[in-house]
């Protein structure tokens, strides 16, 4: 099919809600490690990795080789028949999970992982109400949309009460309390207690939170934040669910899970995306006594499918063997320096944030008013694309550039990306370039 035919059929046969990036959508053809090619043969350095999903490189032969072997051996039999692939990945997850987390429920996506986490938290605690954070994203089912706190992603919600209440998030660049860290003494964390006291029955099932809010625009909390809210959640009987769909599997550097950066041990971890390096796998991981509280039967036909299980285990092993969590920290720090140099040079870049190889730029029209710059964000993406770099977007106002390259990238790749970003910024704001205004 030609590019035009693909785009025509995409429009004709898919739901229009399946949105695409760019005014002239990029039609993919093939990819290898940190590079992706479109159907017209143009090569791109991929700094978005299929939405924070390609952990160890596109079509990495060390993963695909194992997938192919498993497909030829046993592709599917369902969870009613135990097999080696599912227990091997489950054992591996138990080895790397923090605290006493040692049992996993397998699904196909982050959305399902979060559904399961909330269901089991409600059964374990006997409480119904769930806390979540503003600007959070939890997925696209009705419950996950209720947990999500971006109006854009909540359009199909029924009016019925879902039992979810949102507290302030630790968005330092746009502090919900108008304060500045550290003199604020992380006052936003105290909002958790006030909301529980005023908007719930006082007994909660859980707090679900992302260690760094992904879709929200890589909103990175102050280091004290999660310790403070963890204590509050415990005081009111809740479980702490760490949504590691974006922050898991070494992306933040040095540690497997983002929440470990904040020195908190969660009760439940949910994840998906980067675990399978592109195959659909979701996990809800917890302690045995919490897992045991699930009442009734449950089935996920494809959950823990042998092919996805093999892919997930191979991904974790490759991250270990090639020390990619260290690479995420080292190359991530180098990348961060480059992004901060762009901030010094270009007024459009209001904030740089993130951790490891999860780094974002928030674009503002004016650094004093912090008026979001969504049009410029789109233009920046177009200019990067022209020059052969793929980046993602996020943020409540659509003004945050999200980058999450595969953990295998080198400093050379970073140099190339920073050069392209610099040129893109010059192209969209020629008057500001080099002015050094802050």
Interaction mask 123-142, ligand PLP, x per CB under 6 A: --------------xxx---
The tokens for 177 are: 């309390």
Q: Is 114 in the site for ligand PLP (CB under 6 A)?
A: yes
The smaller minimum CB distance to ligand PLP, of residues 103 and 404, is found at 404
Q: Contact between 245 and ligand PLP (CB under 6 A)?
A: yes
Shortest distance, position 353 Cβ to ligand PLP, whole Å: 16
DSSP, residue by residue, 206-272: EEEE-SSBTTTT-B---TTHHHHHHHHHHHTT-EEEEE-TTTTTTTTSSSSSHHHHTT---SEEEE-
How would DSSP label each residue in 66-103? HHHHHHHH-----TTS--HHHHHHHHHHHHHSSTT--E
The CA-based diameter of the chain, rounded to the nearest angstrom, is: 65
For ligand PLP, the binding residue among 104, 220, 246, 286 (CB under 6 A) is: 246
Give the separation between CA 406 and CA 358, rounded to whole angstroms.
10
Residue 358 sits in the site that holds ligand PLP (CB under 6 A):
no
243-271 burial, b for 16+ CB within 10 Å, e for fewer? bbbbbbbbbbbebbbbbbbbebbbbbbbb
Site for ligand PLP in 152-171 (CB under 6 A): none
316 or 428: whose CB is closer to ligand PLP?
316
Q: Report d(CA 354, CA 352) in Å as an integer.
A: 7
- Identify which of 112, 394, 355 has the alpha carbon closest to the alpha carbon of residue 243: 112
* Binding flag, residue 354, ligand PLP (CB under 6 A): no
Distance of alpha carbon 216 from alpha carbon 140, whole angstroms: 15
Q: Is 111 in the site for ligand PLP (CB under 6 A)?
A: yes
- Which residue has 């070494």 as its token pair? 250
Out of 115, 129, 191, 243, the only residue in the binding site for ligand PLP (CB under 6 A) is 243
Q: Is 217 in the site for ligand PLP (CB under 6 A)?
A: no
User: What are the angstrom distances between the C-alpha of 231 and each of 144, 223, 228, 235, 237?
Assistant: 24, 14, 5, 6, 10
CB of 314 to ligand PLP, least distance (A): 19
- Specify the stretch interacting with ligand PLP by CB under 6 A; choose among 26-34, 89-97, 207-215, 375-383: 207-215
Distance from C-alpha of 336 to C-alpha of 353, rounded to nearest angstrom: 8
Distance in Å, CB of 147 to ligand PLP, minimum? 9
Closest distance to ligand PLP from the beta carbon of 5 (Å): 28
Please give the helix or strand (H or E) that residue 276 lies within, else none. none
Q: Is 215 in the site for ligand PLP (CB under 6 A)?
A: yes
The smaller minimum CB distance to ligand PLP, of residues 358 and 425, is found at: 358
What is the x/- site pattern for ligand PLP, positions 70-109, by CB under 6 A? ---------------------------------------x
Q: How far is the CB of 208 from ligand PLP (least distance, A)?
A: 9
Nearest to ligand PLP of 270, 379 (CB atom): 270
Considering the rule CB under 6 A, would residue 311 count as an interface residue with ligand PLP? Answer: no
Residue with Cβ nearer ligand PLP (379 or 404): 404
Residue at shortest CB range from ligand PLP: 110
Q: What are 325's two structure tokens?
A: 């969590």
Q: How far is the CB of 214 from ligand PLP (least distance, A)?
A: 4
Q: How far is the CB of 142 from ligand PLP (least distance, A)?
A: 13
* 312: contact with ligand PLP by CB under 6 A: no
Size of the site for ligand PLP (CB under 6 A): 14
Report strand pairing: 239-243 vs 204-209: parallel
Considering the rule CB under 6 A, would residue 60 count as an interface residue with ligand PLP? Answer: no
Return the half-sphere exposure (C-beta side, CA atoms, 13 A cut-off) of residue 72: 5
Stretch that binds ligand PLP, among 33-41, 223-231, 242-250, 396-404 (CB under 6 A): 242-250
Position 272 contacts ligand PLP (CB under 6 A): yes
Contact 53, 60 (CB under 8 A): no
Ramachandran angles phi, psi of 167, nearest 5°: -105, 170
The two three-digit tokens of residue 158, written as one number: 């029924």
Of 385 and 402, CB closest to ligand PLP: 402
Residue 210 in the binding site for ligand PLP (CB under 6 A): yes
Residues 49 and 22: their CA atoms lie apart, in Å, by 16
Name the residues that contact ligand PLP, by CB under 6 A: 109-111, 114, 137-139, 210, 214-215, 243, 245-246, 272
């Amino acid at each position: 099919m030609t590019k035009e035919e693909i785009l025509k059929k995409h429009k004709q046969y898919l739901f229009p809600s399946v949105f695409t990036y760019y005014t002239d959508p990029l039609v993919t053809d093939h990819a290898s490690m940190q590079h992706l090619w479109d159907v017209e043969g143009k090569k791109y350095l991929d700094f978005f990795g299929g939405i924070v999903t390609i952990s160890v490189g596109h079509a990495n032969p060390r993963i695909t080789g194992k997938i192919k072997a498993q497909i030829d051996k046993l592709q599917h039999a369902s969870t009613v028949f135990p097999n080696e692939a599912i227990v091997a990945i489950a054992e591996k997850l138990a080895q790397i999970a923090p605290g006493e987390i040692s049992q996993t429920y397998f699904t196909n996506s982050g959305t399902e992982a979060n559904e399961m986490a909330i269901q089991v938290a409600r059964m374990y605690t006997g409480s119904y109400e769930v806390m979540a954070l503003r600007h959070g994203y939890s997925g696209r089912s009705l419950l996950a949309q209720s947990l999500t706190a971006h109006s854009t992603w909540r359009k199909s919600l029924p009016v019925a009460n879902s039992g979810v209440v949102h507290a302030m998030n630790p968005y330092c660049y746009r502090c919900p309390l108008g304060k500045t860290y550290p003199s604020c003494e992380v006052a936003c964390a105290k909002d958790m207690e006030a909301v529980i006291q005023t908007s719930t029955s006082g007994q909660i099932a859980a707090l679900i939170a992302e260690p760094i809010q992904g879709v929200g625009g890589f909103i990175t909390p102050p280091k004290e934040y999660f310790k403070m809210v963890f204590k509050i959640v415990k005081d009111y009987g809740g479980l702490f669910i760490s949504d590691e769909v974006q922050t898991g599997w070494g992306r933040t550097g040095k540690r497997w899970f983002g929440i470990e950066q904040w020195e908190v041990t969660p009760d439940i971890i949910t994840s998906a995306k980067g675990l399978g390096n592109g195959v659909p796998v979701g996990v809800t991981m917890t302690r045995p006594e919490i897992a045991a509280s699930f009442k009734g039967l449950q089935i996920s036909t494809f959950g823990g499918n042998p092919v996805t299980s093999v892919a997930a285990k191979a991904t974790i092993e490759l991250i270990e063997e090639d020390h990619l969590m260290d690479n995420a920290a080292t190359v991530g720090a180098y990348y961060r320096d480059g992004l901060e140099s762009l901030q010094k040079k270009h007024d459009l870049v209001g904030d740089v944030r993130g951790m490891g190889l999860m780094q974002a730029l928030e674009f503002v029209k004016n650094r004093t008013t912090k008026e979001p710059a969504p049009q410029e964000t789109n233009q920046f993406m177009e200019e990067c694309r022209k020059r052969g770099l793929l980046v993602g977007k996020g943020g409540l106002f659509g003004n945050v550039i999200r980058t999450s390259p595969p953990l295998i990238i080198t400093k050379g790749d970073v140099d190339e990306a920073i050069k392209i970003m610099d040129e893109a910024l010059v192209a969209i704001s020629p008057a500001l370039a080099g002015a050094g205004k802050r």
